[in-house]
Structure 1
Amino acid sequence: MYLITQIIVLFAILIGNSIQNELMESKITNDGYKTEFHTVKTSDGYFLQLVRIQNDDEPPENAPVMLLMHGLFQSGGIWICQNDTKNSLAYQLRDAGNDVWLGNVRGTTLSQKHEKWDKDQNAREFWDYTMHEMGTIDLPDMIDYILNVTKQGKLNYVGYSMGGTNFFILTSMIPEYNEKISNAYLIAPAVFLGNAQSELMHQIANNAELIQADWELWGVHRLGFTPDLFTLTMNAICGQSRFMQEICKSTVLRVIGQENDETDMNNLAETRKYYTDMASTQQILQYFQMINSGKFWPLDFKNEKKNIYKYGVPTPTDYDLSQVKVPITVFYGTADGLVSPKDAEILKEKVSTIKNQFMLEKWNHLDMVLGKNVRTAIHDRIIEDLNAK
């Protein structure tokens, strides 16, 4: 029963309520910047929203282009959600003279339209994807669109967590895109997960087949909460007593990693509305398989016909990381419950173009984007490296 409660709390806390165009635009405007919303139609019919950050000055001609990609259960709002705007990477990069774009993959609130399918009425078809499609379709289509608008030949890539997953899927599956990315800065990239330090995630992943069967039985194709349902759920579970509040806090920390001087739980609660979002259940299952196997590979549907339809082979194989040619800088935390130091080292062994790797002592998974000192520990290093080019 305690594990079930933790699973419910986990998804309620991490998913939260989704950001809308108006909310993001209002936040960015209040922070003193301007927005441009761009729509990209993917080759398989999804309409994705890109958000371009502007200020009073136009980006100089040939300004470095930056594409920032979010993690699971997040939107591009993760890069502008900090209460202190000085700690928001999108603003830092824009102030440094870069042309900044925030990506939103399929299924996030800003990217929930399809040319044929409604996300609710045609849920089975709409949500039938994993990170494989994000890496092989969403990312290349967004990159091509941005390069066409900016008249540039290359861009720089920043990816957090799933943003790292999708980056490596792209560069291993479509190697020609290595030539379109000058540098990649990957923050807690979720690639190898077999040594995840969160025991709770291992417990959940070990029950992946049972969870999948329940989702299929109930017709669940996505995970997410409307604002009203989120508030109701959180009040019902976490707002009744100090004991339940501690369970909620403990559950979050059992997934992301231990609390430390970098972690600001109050800031996490206040900013959650600006970045939390939805995901397909198939994305979750892919991560469960990656945790259980320790491999970086597509979701195995355990169905030859489905695998052949998706990948062209009866059984999917590991992504070929030897194809990756982009110069990469990686940041990871020693207290991260998901991306462990051991798995970060495995990634470095597999990818020869990782030129820099920064280990942040006692930082957990969310500290890597919401930590109190994220500006000096991560953002300044990214900008310094860009300026050295």
Structure 2
Amino acid sequence: MIDHILQVTKTERVSCIGHSMGNAVFMVMLALRPEYNEKVQMFVGLGPFAVVQMDLDPVSQLLLPQVLDLVKFNKNTKATDLFRRKKVNPFVIPCWSAPTICVAILTQFLGKDNDHGTCANLMPIILGYFPSGTSNKNFHHLLSLREGNFAHFDYGTSEGNLAHYNRISPPEYNLTRVRVPVSLYYGETDSVCSTKGMKAQVKALPNLVQVSVIKGYNHMDFLLASNTRQALYENIMEDLKTAHTINNANESNDLPHNKMNIFDLKEFRKTAIKSLVKGAKEKQKSKLNRLKKKYKTKKLEIKPEIENMWADIKTKFEERKLDKKLKEENFLKKDPKITVEY
């Protein structure tokens, strides 16, 4: 994808943005193919899945082994299998009818449901692609990384790992090879990529330039929240505009405090309401000024017309008055006994 974009656009480097597994894919690419550091200007990770600590609720923790056992029987050989690519995902139909229920079910496993508003009508679109198109192996791989060990796929036996890696346990991905400037955004209530694993992720990357925690965001809010523009996208655009250079900010175990941003939803609402009120007042004032200006212009335009109209009326009135007087004078000439007083 990167090579194709560079070839078509004739540019030297491209910036990348990844959500969840998109972050893992990017990190794996640079760990295994470090030459791509020269082709990427910057990477932005949303709900970054790599060195993670899942913070699942007790119910999800209890169900997880059963889910993994069930997935083993899903061989992706039949059209009805869970991960098989389909023209129309059957999940789309119920979520088209009741999108808010689908969001509620999804957030049960991906983090706390918050009150900042959700674009639930996007759910059928997302489910048009998810979870079809992946595999059992990929599903198992992602869940095996939930305790912070960002490593290759574990084949489950010493023999399987020896055959593939020449060692009894899968090797970890070497993230020191990720030299691209990286900006990460975590959700405060995200249970899949929780803030518990944030420090380990920061320490693993040699060129992390910024870490943000979005208050009240779960794992799906990066895609579905109604305030993503103000809380997220405007900051990402600023990240991409900034020229970053390699630094050693992450040599210590501490987070880069001067680069930690907290997005406060309540403060955002206050600011948004003030901005809306101010905008409405300015709009009303501007509209009133336009009307005044329009009235003044119209008044100047119609003033000569009104004056001409009154002049015409006055002239006609005088003409009629004179005409009446002449008629009466003619009438008196015919009959001198009649007198008329004016």
Q: TM-score, normalised by structure 1?
A: 0.54
Asked if residue 148 in structure 1 is aligned to residue 3 in structure 2, the reply is no
Alignment of 1:138-287 (within 5 A): 142-207=1-66, 210-215=69-74, 222-223=83-84, 227=88, 229-230=90-91, 234=94, 250-264=104-118, 266-269=120-123, 271-272=125-126, 276=130, 277-287=132-142
| Distance across 2 between alignment mates of 1:217 and 1:168 | 27
| Equivalent residues of 1:325, 1:353 under 8 A apart | yes
| Bigger CA radius of gyration | 2
CA distance in 1, matches of 2:128, 2:90: 17
Letter in 2 for 1:206: P
Give the number of the structure whose residues are more often helix, by fraction: 2
Larger relative CO (CA 8 A, sep 6+): 1 or 2? 1
The Cα of 1:200 is off from its aligned counterpart by 4.8
1: CA distance, partners of 2:233 / 2:112 = 22
Q: Within 2, Cα distance between the matches of 1:228 and 1:350?
A: 38
Native 8 Å contact 1:205 1:289 kept in 2: no
Instruction: Tell me the number of residue pairs that the alignment of Structure 1 and Structure 2 aligns.
Output: 239
CA contact (8 A) 2:89 2:129 kept: no
CA distance in 2, matches of 1:382, 1:315: 38
The DSSP-based 3-state class of the residue aligned with 2:35 is helix
Percentage of matched positions with identical amino acids: 23
Q: Distance in 2 between matches of 1:348 and 1:200?
A: 29
Displacement of 1:207 in angstroms is 4.1
Which amino acid in the other structure matches residue 287 of structure 1? L
Identify if the C-alpha distance between structure 1 residues 386 and 353 changes in structure 2 by more than 3 Å, giving closer, same or farther.
same
Alignment of structure 1 residues 1-389 onto 2, 5 Å: 142-207=1-66, 210-215=69-74, 222-223=83-84, 227=88, 229-230=90-91, 234=94, 250-264=104-118, 266-269=120-123, 271-272=125-126, 276=130, 277-291=132-146, 293-303=147-157, 307=161, 311=165, 315-389=169-243
TM-score by length of 2: 0.60
Q: Partner letter of residue 150 of structure 2?
A: F
C-alpha distance in structure 1 between counterparts of 2:126 and 2:140, whole Å:
24
| d(CA) in 2 for partners of 1:208, 1:313 | 29
Q: In structure 2, list runs of 5 or more residues that go unmatched.
A: 244-342
- CA shift in 2, pair 1:379/1:249, >3 Å: closer
Aligned-partner Cα distance in 1 for 2:141–2:51: 12
**Structure 1, unaligned runs of 5 or more:** 1-141
Other structure's SS at 1:210 match = helix
SS state of the match for residue 286, structure 1?
helix
**What secondary structure is seen at the aligned counterpart in 2 of 1:186?**
strand
How far, CA to CA, are the matches of 1:263 and 1:205 in structure 2? 29
